Amino acid sequence: MTGAAYHHGRLREALVEEAVAAARAHGPGGVGLRELARRVGVSHNAAYRHFAHREDLLVAVADHAMTEVVGAMRVRLADLDAGGGSVEVAPVLRARRRLTAIGRAYVDYALREPGLFQAAFAALAGDGDWRRRGQGPLDLLGEALDELVDVGFLAPAARPGAEVTCWSAVHGFAMLTVAGPLAGVAVLDRAATLDTVLTSIDRSYAATTGSAADPADLIAGT
């Protein structure tokens, strides 16, 4: 993008677009106000009027990424629901599969957009729009966990704090595959390991109510 490529009053949007592109290509290290201002075609002083610090720009990148993550989760959930067709799925199995689909969508996004994914988590101490709207991945995860309680699979006493433990496991796996020792693992082996992570979460929730938790049923639906 050049200075002629944005309209007056759209400088902030232009900087965010360039920041997202830079993060996608180079991760958080690619996001710098001076360089992005140069690419947009304005002085760095003009850029600082919209973003006082680089961290402020990273928050905007995080907002973009988290919005995309939620979108990917919703697509996965819609595909899961559509895949059932006319076949009736028991409420418990449906709820279990929905939680697993959210986890898979999260990891898929991390693998598809590793630079943007890492840049997003370089800014989570900030206050992005996705936090203020209450429409982040954690909110969608919370809805899935509430559904597990509603169908009697997850005990109400085990529900508090479940978002953090569940997200920690899936995010840890995502980071291990994006920038850790699992980065070079073959695709099929990586998928099998993710199955193990997700079925372990499922099994731990089943244990809170003594429910049956057949991994084969869980994996078959997602």
Mean pLDDT of the chain: 87
Instruction: State pLDDT tens for residues 161-181.
Output: 999 999 999 999 999 999 999
Nearest to 58 by CA among 105, 107, 15, 87: 15
* Helix, strand, coil content of the chain in percent (nearest 5): 75, 0, 25
Query: What domains are there in the chain, each with its CATH number?
Result: 1-52 (1.10.10), 58-220 (1.10.357.10)
Tens of pLDDT, residue by residue over 115-174, are 999 988 887 555 555 555 567 888 999 999 999 999 999 999 999 999 999 999 999 999
CB neighbour burial string for 33-47, b if at least 16 within 10 angstroms, e if fewer: beebbebbebeeeeb
Residue 211 has a CB neighbour count (10 Å cut-off) of 18
pLDDT reported for residue 131: 56
- Rounded to whole angstroms, how far apart are CA atoms 171 and 116? 14
Query: Do residues 174 and 65 lie in contact, with contact meaning Cβ atoms separated by under 8 Å?
Result: no
The model's pLDDT over 186-215, given as tens digits with 9 standing for 90+, comes to: 999 999 999 999 999 999 999 999 998 888
DSSP of 162-200: HHHHHHHHHHHHHHHHHHSTTTTS-HHHHHHHHHHHHHH
Query: How far is it, in rounded angstroms, from Cα 19 to Cα 57?
Result: 7
Whether pLDDT at 9 is above 80: no
**Residue in the block written with tokens 């895949």:** 83
What residues have CB less than 8 Å from 37, skipping those under 6 apart?
15, 43, 44, 46, 47
Q: How far apart are CA 217 and CA 98, in angstroms?
A: 12
| Sole residue written with tokens 């959930």 | 77
Q: What is the pLDDT of residue 1?
A: 45
How many beta carbons lie within 10 A of that of residue 75, not counting itself? 13
Give me the pLDDT at residue 10, please: 85
